[in-house]
Amino acid sequence: MGGVKKKSMASMEKSQDSTETAQEQAAPSKGKKTEKKSGPQQKKQLSFLPPKMSDAEFLKALSPLKAITVYTASRALGVNASVASGVLKELEAKKVLRKAGGFSGHGVWSKA
């Protein structure tokens, strides 16, 4: 009645991968070259690429909005929310926009 249950696909793949790596380590083939590992990789710096627009063009795109939030700005500018957030913070630093409210990271801006 009992017996060994069938392994899941993930566990079968893991066991197959571990047996393949063990065989490669035990007897490396002559045709393969060993690759030297480089040092620790540098972390990628994530920077946003804002659309190439002037401040006046940004204001023109955002002017019909009553409340400027990250998500409404992303829709109006046609970019991701992370890019829109960076653009709004940049415009706030240039005193083009001012923060009117919001809480917990969800800001609301208005034209200055």
Tokens of 68: 């400027």
Strand partners, 98: 110
Residue tagged 């659309």 (tokens)? 51
Under a CB-based contact definition with an 8 Å cutoff, are residues 78 and 93 in contact?
Answer: no
Residue 71 has a pLDDT of 92
> What CATH architecture applies to the domain 55-111?
Orthogonal Bundle (1.10)
Q: How far is residue 35's CA from residue 96's CA, in Å, rounded to a whole number?
A: 53
Boundaries of every domain in the chain: 55-111
Tokens of 79: 């970019």
Residue 112 has a pLDDT of 78
* Averaged pLDDT, groups of 10, the chain, 112 residues long: 85 86 71 64 62 81 87 88 87 89 87 80
